[in-house]
Amino acid sequence: MRTITALECLAALSHSTRLDAFRLLVRQEPAGLSTGQLVNASGLSQSTFSSHLAILVSAGLVVPEKRGRQMIQRANIEALRDLMLFLAKDCCGGRADLCEPLAAELAECC
What's the pLDDT tens digit per position in 53-87?
Answer: 999 999 999 999 999 999 999 999 999 999 998 98
Quote the pTM value.
Answer: 0.88
pLDDT in tens, 21-53: 999 999 999 999 999 999 999 999 999 999 999
Per-residue pLDDT, 110? 67
Which domains does the chain show, CATH number per domain? 3-109 (1.10.10.10)
H/E segment holding residue 71: strand 70-75
Task: Enumerate the H helices of the chain as residue ranges.
Answer: 3-12, 16-27, 35-42, 46-58, 77-88, 96-109
